[in-house]
């Protein structure tokens, strides 16, 4: 357990790829003159935690890999289909006590809300911290697991390999429901969401 007097350390593992089926190459699409990827990295840095990208090891994701190297961001390359394994392997690059899953669809997440969630980890002996029970978690989901629980102990289903945290939920680890966001946002799933995001970011 991390107390109020100790430094909280979290490895933020960002799940990203260029080969999104609904919106290919969206991470390089621009919003108000900057790519989604650039904006996300800028916002994550304000959380003052270690950032690790988990991306597929395929030629179609080489541009993403090179971009992250140029930005001096930690990156792990693994299986495109088994996102759970990619997440766990990426977490092993870091040495923090906690590992957070970050979905790169969540351009409009509020760093201030994420920092609020981090405070709820202090003096708390749970193994998983999540806001998925919140009705408005879409676009700013927060899922965090203790590093010593971030491993495979039984065979995951195909669904769990794709969505990551359902596997850990099934393991029955002690879970804490984080406070819900006070604002509603949306993920970037389709090209039409870009125009909406431009308007949101201008406010």
CA distance 197 to 34: 12
Q: Model's pTM, two decimal places?
A: 0.95
**Which parts of the chain fold into alpha helices (H)?**
36-45, 62-70, 83-91, 111-119, 158-163, 165-170, 191-202
Please report the pLDDT score of residue 88 as a whole number: 98
CB 65 within 8 A of CB 44: no
Please report the pLDDT score of residue 1 as a whole number: 65
The two tokens of residue 119 are 């405070």
CA distance 91 to 51: 10
Closest CA to 158 of 95, 77, 79, 103: 79
3-state secondary structure of 91: helix
CA distance 37 to 194: 13
pLDDT tens-digit profile of 116-166? Answer: 999 999 999 999 999 999 999 999 999 999 999 999 999 999 999 999 999
- Cα-flanking dihedrals φ and ψ of residue 31, to 5°? -125, 115
**Which parts of 46-164 fold into alpha helices (H)?**
62-70, 83-91, 111-119, 158-163
pLDDT tops 70 at residue 203:
no
Q: Which CATH superfamily is domain 10-202 in?
A: Spore Coat Polysaccharide Biosynthesis Protein SpsA; Chain A (3.90.550.10)
Of all residues in the chain, what percent carry a pLDDT higher than 70? 98
């Amino acid at each position: 357990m991390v107390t109020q007097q100790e430094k909280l350390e979290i490895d933020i593992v960002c799940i990203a790829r260029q080969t999104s089926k609904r919106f290919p190459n969206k991470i390089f699409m621009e919003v108000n003159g900057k790519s989604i990827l650039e904006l996300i990295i800028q916002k994550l840095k304000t959380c003052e935690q270690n950032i690790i990208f988990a991306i597929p090891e395929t030629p179609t994701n080489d541009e993403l890999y090179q971009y992250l190297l140029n930005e001096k961001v930690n990156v792990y390359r693994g299986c495109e289909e088994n996102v759970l394994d990619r997440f766990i392997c990426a977490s092993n690059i870091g040495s923090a006590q906690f590992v957070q899953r970050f979905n790169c669809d969540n351009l409009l997440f509020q760093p201030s809300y994420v920092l609020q969630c981090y405070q709820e980890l202090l003096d708390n002996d749970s193994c998983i911290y999540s806001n998925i029970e919140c009705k408005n978690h879409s676009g700013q989901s927060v899922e965090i697991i203790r590093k010593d629980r971030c491993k495979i102990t039984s065979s995951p289903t195909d669904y769990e390999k794709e969505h990551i945290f359902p596997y850990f939920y099934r393991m029955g680890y002690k879970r804490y429901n984080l406070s819900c966001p006070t604002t509603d946002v949306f993920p970037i799933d389709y090209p039409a969401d870009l125009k909406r995001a431009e308007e949101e970011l201008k406010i």
